[in-house]
Amino acid sequence: MADQTDVYKYFEPTVQLNNLALSNIHTLASWGVGTAAGILGLTGWNGFIFFVINWIAISALVFFVKCKGDSSVYFKSSFMDIAGTPMFNTLLSYVLVWTLMHALVYIYD
C-alpha cells in the first residue's frame, strides 16, 4: 500500500499541465525534425535513425535544462514520462511531415 506522503506528493492539475507542455514540445520537435529529414532526403532506416538520435537529444535537453536533472519533481514516473511514453505518439507525426517534405522537395527528381 502507498505511503500517506506519496498520496499528496503531486498536485494532479500541475502534473497534467506539465504533461501537456511536454507533449507540445515533442510534437513541435517531431515536426521540425521531420521537416529536416525530408529536406535532407533521408529515406528508409536512415530517417528512423535520424528520428531516434534527435529524440534522445530532445529528451536529454528537456531532462537537463527544463527539469534541472530531477524529473521526479515534475512528473510521476520520472524519466519515462520524458523519454519513453510519448515517443510512439509523435512518431506518426514525424513520419507524416517527413514524407510530405520529401515529396515536396524531391517530386521532380
Tell me if the pTM is above 0.85: no
CA–CA separation, 59 and 92 (whole Å): 17
Mean pLDDT of the chain: 84
Q: What is the mean pLDDT of residues 98-108?
A: 91
What is the C-alpha end-to-end distance of the chain, expressed in Å?
A: 63
